[in-house]
Amino acid sequence: MSVLQYLQAFFADLREQDIPVTTSQVRDCCQGLLLIDWSNRDYFYSTFFSTLVKDYSYQKAFDEVFNRFFKEYLRPENRQHFRFVQANKNSRPQEETAVSDYDIGMGNPMGKGGTAQAPGGKKNPLQQDFGRISAEELAGIEAMVPLLARRLAAKFVKKRKRNDQNRLDFRRTIRSSLSTGGIPLNLFTTRKYREKPVILILCDVSGSVMNFSCIALALIASLERFFQHIESYAFIDEVSDITGLLLSGNPFNFRAHVLRNAQVVGVTGYTNYGHTLEEFHKRFRHRINRKTSVLIFGDARNNWQEHGKWALKDIKSQAKKVYWFNPEPMSRWNTGDSIINDYVPYCDRVFACPNLAELEKSLAKI
């Protein structure tokens, strides 16, 4: 296998691990490789890492692939061979193809790990129903979440920008121009107080909405990275403040992370919206003011317990807006122990978000 083919296999494997490796990055990487001494492991690694990985969170995945491909390659007994490659390489023009003619002197990459190829004909992750997806598909959807969060963030920022035009403060400008003989040397503009988006999120993390809450938590984590004024709370039958908790932790087990590190399970361990809302009202009511938008993620399946809707009513009277995102399609609302109808009167909008596309649409509307 030639060096170039080998590298291509390496890049392909990185992509399989969801590390975005673009053509221009590949070009940079090859260009860098021509500039360094390959026999030094640190140089070699650093060249790959700095050109291919642009986010620290990919390091683990990258290291794993890197070791699989190059561990053998960097053994002392193989060094001899590199010198040969190196010596020839220098006489070549600095192009990607320059490395292509040389043998890499080793066989196939050791046991290629990511064998699971994305099978064709799979549904668009945006359209998949939260209720019936496998863990694998869930991971695929979760990978989309940061993108979605960024799109939303961009939208919010634009909205804020439009309302942020400064106008000339005529009176102050003229008054100050008197001291400079009528020449308006100093311009004054009206200061418009920019309201930061204050978002408060309540997220159901119980088993009945498991997939949905994974997505919601991933979304919260992404939004927290974009906005400073977000507070998030998780609940099953106890409510707990999880603001900032998601910033550390592996995106693929946010839910387990929350269950472990936050007090969300109370006496019974069954979802209890009534108790949650009352508790939330009692403990965190002071966090809500007329600028706060309250977002609730959950299916309102209350296990036949008290609804506690007075608490939501009171929350609504204090908050700017209350939005409810229900992972169930509208046809299943109010069936069984779902009591979403009890809460609808106290929300500004209630959305049915059975898949990511719907969730994004709904979020964009608020």
User: Which residues contact another protein (rule: CB under 8 A)?
Assistant: 20, 22, 24-25, 28, 31-32, 35-37, 40, 42-43, 45-47, 49-51, 53-56, 59, 146, 150, 154, 157, 183-185, 187, 225-226
Nearest distance from C-beta of residue 164 to another protein, angstroms = 10
Q: What is the torsion angle, in degrees rounded to the nearest 10, for the CA atoms of residue 338, residue 342, residue 345 and residue 351?
A: -10
Of 293, 291, 287, 300, nearest to 334 by C-alpha is 300
Pick between residue 49 and residue 188 the one whose CB is nearest to another protein. Answer: 49
Nearest distance from C-beta of residue 201 to another protein, angstroms = 19
Contact status, residue 227 vs residue 201, Cβ threshold 8 Å: no
Nearest distance from C-beta of residue 98 to another protein, angstroms = 15
Pick between residue 19 and residue 138 the one whose CB is nearest to another protein. Answer: 19
Pick between residue 136 and residue 164 the one whose CB is nearest to another protein. Answer: 164
Q: At what angle do helices 3-16 and 23-33 cross, to 10 degrees?
A: 140
Helix spans in the chain (H):
3-16, 23-33, 41-52, 59-70, 79-90, 135-162, 170-177, 210-226, 254-261, 273-284, 309-318, 340-343, 356-365
Tell me the CA distances in angstroms from 308 to 229, 281, 319, 342, one per residue in order: 27, 10, 17, 9
What gap in Å lies between CA 336 and CA 282, rounded to an integer? 29
- Only one residue has tokens 């100093």, namely 186
Task: Give the torsion sign (CA, 119, 125, 131, 136).
Answer: positive
Pick between residue 40 and residue 253 the one whose CB is nearest to another protein. Answer: 40
- Only one residue has tokens 């990185």, namely 14
Residues in contact with 311: Cβ distance below 8 Å, sequence separation at least 6, in sequence order: 274, 277, 278, 280, 281
Pick between residue 43 and residue 284 the one whose CB is nearest to another protein. Answer: 43
Nearest distance from C-beta of residue 163 to another protein, angstroms = 15
Pick between residue 47 and residue 211 the one whose CB is nearest to another protein. Answer: 47
Pick between residue 35 and residue 267 the one whose CB is nearest to another protein. Answer: 35
